[in-house]
Structure 1
């Protein structure tokens, strides 16, 4: 391995990321550095190797035959390094790294995490808000909270809560709603990335999406909820997103029915890492806190989970 002394790990990481992700910009975002820094590392590595690793074509970078031969070995090596580092962080009883979607982190977790910190002051929680799927067996992430249908083969996955949906809007707009069909007279706030449709709720009343009007579209559930708070229309929200806004009176839920979408919230951990007291404590707290925070009104559970 003496020949490795000639090369910098940062340069090898840079060329591997560029080849795997297909662009210098994407590699810079993953590595947390500037585009210029990645370009410099790539150039230095090419100079050290004495070969060209990428062809520059306008803004694109294409791997040469040399890079194509190197990439599988580099990617495997970087994965092994990440796994080796992760093993040093697993099993700690005083720290947890939680991977969670940004919407759940911002609209539910940050409002409740103080309760966990108060109950377990000796456990430090680090939250990674990302939509990327993380493998807890090969990363330093201890637990993941994800929304999906499950199951998750090869991982420890526990279903925490069924996802249920219901319309929300500003109090002013709610005054115009007397029956479910009245929602069709108002602007509808949409999130094209949602994994369910309005029919999940409308079908309870013999209605479908054909009655719905146009309205603003946002590619983020938090922004959709903010638009509903601002009175821009009616949004089909889910409980962990909107529960605080409903309780605080920022939005109104005109009807109690909250059908299940078929999706659920899952607590996911790796199979190779030990089950620590810190993980168990967070899991116990999360189950209880989710159930207690929802506060479904009478008549909400109209569909089996």
Structure 2
């Protein structure tokens, strides 16, 4: 491996990141440097290797023939280095890193974690709130709570809960709702990033989304729920998002029907991990919490 002395690791990381992401700025964000620094590192690597790896064009960089030969090996090598660091961290025990969507973390998980700590005082949790589909096999993340259909090959995957949707609104707004058809008179709060529409809930009642009134739109489901609490209209929520607001009476579900989106919550982890005991303890606790919260739903 003496040829590794020819090129600094930072330069190889820059080449790999740009090759994988296809964009200088995105690669720079991942590496925590400026796009100019990434460009300089790539040029230096090319000089040291004696060949160009990328084609320069107005929209950025793309791998040339030599780059296509090199990049798969660099990506595989960086993944192995990342895993080596993860394994070193795992060998010390300690913190369980949990990747979850920000809205799930903010509206449901963080409010219950004290009960986990009380029951498992030797396990620490680090919540990584992100919408990115993190791969536990190539990162320091131990557990992912994913919403989707799966499958995710190469990982240990178990279903936690079906995702079911239903309208929620403030008690004041609910006073005007006695049957589903009444929704047509109420402003609808929309989540601009939602993966599903109102049709799932409306169709069983013979309604279509075109029947609904326009209302405010937000890019975050938490904001949509807050708008519903504030009486700005009716919002199509789901159980982990709306549960605590419903329990506190800040919103109500004017109709009892809840319908599945076809997606579910999944507990995702590595097939083999030094933290298997911590992972299993967290999964048992999470399942118990969900069962207690949604058994009457």
Tell me, in whole angstroms, the C-alpha distance in 2 between the residues paired with 1:231 and 1:191: 16
My pick for the range that moved more, 213-222 or 56-65, is 56-65
Q: Which runs of 4+ in 1 moved over 6 A?
A: none
Q: Residues 241-280 of structure 1 correspond to what in structure 2 (within 5 A)?
A: 241-274=241-274, 276-280=276-280
Distance in 2 between the 1:275 and 1:42 partners?
A: 37
2:195 — aligned with what?
195
- Cα pair distance change 1:8/1:153, threshold 3 Å: closer
Q: Distance in 2 between matches of 1:8 and 1:100?
A: 34
- Contact 1:167/1:254 (CA < 8 Å) preserved in 2? yes
Report deviation, 1:122. Answer: 1.3
2:209 paired with 1:206: no
The separation in 2 between residues aligned to 1:153 and 1:56, in whole angstroms, is 35
- Secondary structure of the corresponding residue to residue 190 of structure 1: strand
| Equivalent position SS for 1:137 | helix
Match of 1:10 in 2: 10
**Change beyond 3 A, Cα 1:230–1:8:** farther
Give me the CA root mean square deviation: 2.4
Distance apart, 1:257 and its partner CA: 2.3
Unaligned runs of 5+ in 1: 301-305
Aligned pairs (5 A) from 1:212-223: 212-223=212-223
In structure 2, C-alpha distance between the alignment counterparts of 1:256 and 1:287, rounded to whole Å? 24
Question: How much does 1:92 deviate?
Answer: 5.6
Aligned residues: 297
Distance 1:212 1:154, change over 3 A: same
Name 1:37's counterpart in structure 2: 37
Q: Is the 1:169–1:229 Cα contact (8 Å) retained in structure 2? A: yes
- Unaligned runs of 5+ residues in structure 2 are none
Between the aligned partners of 2:80 and 2:21, the Cα distance in structure 1 is 18
Deviates more, 1:254-263 or 1:41-50: 41-50
When normalised by structure 2's length, the TM-score is 0.89
Deviates more, 1:259-268 or 1:12-21: 259-268
Query: What TM-score comes out, normalization by structure 1 length?
Result: 0.87
**Deviation, structure 1 residue 192:** 4.5
Assess, with a 3 A threshold, how the Cα gap between structure 1 residues 95 and 48 changes in structure 2: closer, same or farther.
Answer: same
CA contact (8 A) 1:6 1:48 kept: yes
Alignment-derived partner of residue 303 in structure 1: none
